[in-house]
Amino acid sequence: MDYTTVVASTSSELAPLQYIAPYSGCAIGEEWMENGEDVLIIYDDLSKHATAYRTLSLLLRRPPGREAYPGDVFYLHSRLLERAARLSDELGGGSLTALPIIETQAGDVSAYIPTNVISITDGQIYLETEMFNAGFRPAVNAGLSVSRVGGSAQIKAMKKIAAPIRVELAQFRELASFAQFGSELDADTKEKLAQGERIREVLKQPQYAPVPVEYQVIILYAATRKHLLDIPTEKVLEFEEALFEYIKTKYPEIPESIKETRVLSDEAEQKLIQAIGECKAKFSAAE
């Protein structure tokens, strides 16, 4: 909290105070940005902000529109979020990154306020209650989450390895729904279901446990190249820890190469395949 400022307007505050709070926080962030600092501002959440503005507008007898929001509710959030910027070196080189949070009602991402904010931002991460309750954390729905920056923000190794994951997860969700009603599944469908389960497992992440990008590449390579199909689903996270430890001890040059060159070279890939095979043999023997 040493580098954090909290501007709070709770639900017990009057609607005008809830309405003005995000703009006050943004003004504080802009001061640091203009002094050359890099600032992250989190708006939690803009759904409540829109509700406060709707209350204010109705009290002012402005004509209500869709879902009783006033006609300028889009401008309400666009003028706030478009204050996020990256300044040129001549202006100090500071930046302000905005992370708005929106609450969906019953998971409806197509409602008025969510679609407004989605159209303004550079993408969205959609968190699903059902996945969270099922133990998949972070509970990111890959089908509804979008990045307009995309692969431009990834290193080449990650771009190459992670490319098929989104499609495989989407196929897995469809097949999993179908499999609930199908008594007999062919071998190909069973393999896709098993593959999807293992990809979902490696995407689980404990709280306060960041994974360096070079090790993300390593475990995603193992998952996408079907090296984990013979590892029981409930043992995948345990194997992931064992693989990281084995590579740190026996093959430290693999993550070092990925970190330095930002690509997975043919030589590093061959060593990685060998390391995965050796670790699997050791892991199975210990069972």
How many whole angstroms separate alpha carbon 67 and alpha carbon 105? 13
Contacts of 272 (CB under 8 A, 6+ apart): 218, 221, 247, 251, 254, 264
- Is 148 catalytic? The answer is yes
Task: Tell me which of 148, 173, 198, 225 is the catalytic residue.
Answer: 148
**Nearest by Cα to 165 from 134, 196, 139:** 196
What's at 19, amino acid-wise? Y
CA dist list (Å): 19 to 25, 53, 59: 12, 6, 13
For residues 105, 137, 44, 32, the Cα torsion angle rounded to the nearest 10 degrees is: -150
**Nearest by Cα to 155 from 217, 244, 63:** 217
Catalytic positions are 148
